[in-house]
Structure 1
Amino acid sequence: MKSFLTRLLSGIILVALIFATCWYGGGLLWLFLLLIGYIGQMEFYKVFGIQDKSPGFAGYLGTALWMMGVHVASGGGLTAKTEGMWLILMVVFLLIMAVYVFTFPKYDTQQIMAAFFGIVYVPVMLSFIYQTRMLESGLQLVWLIFFCSWGCDTFAYCTGMLLGKHKLAPVLSPKKSIEGAVGGVAGAALLGAVYAGIMTAPVLEYALICAVGAVASQIGDLAASAIKRQHGIKDYGRLIPGHGGILDRFDSVIVTAPMIYILAVALIG
């Protein structure tokens, strides 16, 4: 009972923080995402033993450069500064490769690849929450990210409990079913449609965005589980009582955020 209450309380606090920062937007949301991006990146680097090593420090610097670039480009979204953002990624890549060659053979290729991937996987992906919020209809669109990730997860769990028979990924996640996955996508689409009706927004587009986002969400969740399984860890961290680390709670959001941003720009503008 105590563990359930702890999990519930920490979950409520987390949701309140996300709601407040996404509602307010601007610099507050940017700082919040920078903070959890750094923590999540550190959790990921810890898996590969580089959280306090030169490749990790190069990665943290890369995150700072990327997030500053995102903040500068926020007036028109990433598309307004595409070349500049690619330049930042190229500089970060060269920085990490410089660490590799000038300290060779101190770090293996897996650690170096993890240093760069950790930037893209955590802070770069999370930054699309900010980018979505900064769109013209951002206050309305940003919630789709969480409908697709956490809403899909809830619908998938309930559908799987009631109808689940065929395993989705039996080795990786034995409890997940194909029926649950389909239910999660359908549930997310339904949430999107209902939300669109309430907000007098295009129903079909919102439902489609949420359905595609839900597929991305489930792949993101399984991918995070695969990394943990391969490296023999249960949780990425212990920051959030009852939930684990940032990556344990945001594993699906990380993949969903850029998908929602891209689809929102393409279908809604």
Structure 2
Amino acid sequence: MLVRIITGIVGIGLAAFVIQAGGTLFAVCGLVLALGAWFEYCNAFDKKGYRPALVIGGLFVSAMCYAAYGGLDTGLLTMLSLGAVLVMFLLTVLLHGSFSVPSAAVSAAGVLYLGMSFAHLIGLRVMEHGMAPVETQLGVLEPGCALIWTALIGTWASDTFAYFAGSFLGRHKLCPSISPGKTVEGFVGGLIGTTASVAGLGVLFGFDVQMMAVLGLCICIIATLGDLVESVMKRYTGIKDSGHIIPGHGGIWDRFDSVIYTVPFVYYFVQFVALR
């Protein structure tokens, strides 16, 4: 637990620096995380007997992240998504006998699952969407910076409040066949804590507090589902952790399984709901 806490504190400090810096540094860090998660994904399914296209898939993941640098290029992302699917299945012909249809399907799904999500992480940081700079008591933030903090703090709050509520009050299992450690009480604690945390960010950023509370509620639900999705895949592939690169926290995929779902949701939420 001590290692987990220390690593978490260091990680938050590094994340704060990168988020505030934005620009190329944030994009490069997003790309590194995406490729790390892709490697762990491929390694997990390799243990199950599949042979994901590690290098070609990594190139598509990189290209998707590049398409978000400076602003999410949806046209280019669509082209890359289609290209990834077509190329993966074309490999079953070009590499017939060594690259199977299931491996192509796993590869294509992984590229879309991780590449598109991390592209939205990068795209959210540079998003403006007609919003003015956000003035706070801590200084002036770019709109994308405030939105990234909203997505990440909301996701971290969901995990933290659910963990402590489940530890002290947990009695009823939420999804015992998928994640035995999750409880209904923990989930409810996560809902309350995340809703309050994101609403509090609304006060800090000068956003509509009611809409931020709704966003917080949604983030908790989606974060929980994202975590369960990875749990299903880990159970299917027979691994406990996706990696060991983060002491006390497992791998990059383990740490960002919920973010993979919450960031795209926040990105499109602010497209349709006015926060100011």
* Normalised TM-score (structure 1): 0.90
- Tell whether 2:101 aligns with 1:109: yes
Map of 1:39 onto structure 2: 36
8 Å CA contact 2:171, 2:183 repeated in 1: yes
CA distance in 2: counterparts of 1:205 and 1:218, whole angstroms: 20
Structure 1 runs, 4 residues or longer, greater than 3 Å off: none
Structure 1's unaligned 5+ residue stretches are none
The question of 1:66 aligning with 2:72 is answered: no
Does the alignment pair 1:97 with 2:94?
no
Aligned residues: 260
Deviations 1:201-235 (A, max 9, x none): 11011111121111110001111111111221111
The answer as to 2:85 corresponding to 1:118 is no
Task: Write the distance in 2 (CA, Å) between the matches of 1:179 and 1:110.
Answer: 38
Shift of 1:193: 0.9
Output the amino acid matched with 1:89. Answer: S
Aligned with residue 161 of structure 2, among 135, 155, 160: 155
Identity of matched residues, %: 30
Pair 1:86-2:48 in alignment: no
Partner of 2:12: 15
**Counterpart in 2 of 1:209?**
215
Question: 1:57 maps to which residue?
Answer: 55
User: What is the deviation of 1:12?
Assistant: 2.2
Distance 1:157 1:182 in 2: 11
Across the aligned residues of Structure 1 and Structure 2, the Cα RMSD in angstroms comes to 2.1
Of 183, 197, 200, 2:189 maps to 183
Structure number with the higher helix fraction is 1
Task: Choose from 127, 130, 147 the match for 2:122.
Answer: 130
Shift of 1:28: 0.7
Aligned position for 1:166: 172
- Matched with 1:229 is 235
Q: Distance in 1 between matches of 2:85 and 2:63?
A: 12
Report the TM-score when normalising by structure 2: 0.87
Aligned counterparts of 1:230 and 1:197: Cα–Cα separation in 2 = 42
CA gap of 1:123–1:17, structure 2 versus 1, over 3 A, is farther
In structure 2, the residue matched to 1:29 is 26
Cα-to-partner distance string for 1:179-208 (whole Å, 9 max, x where unaligned): 221221221111011111122211011111
**Distance in 2 (alpha carbons) for counterparts of 1:163 and 1:14:** 28
Displacement of 1:159: 2.2
| Structure 1 residue 167, shift from structure 2 partner | 1.4
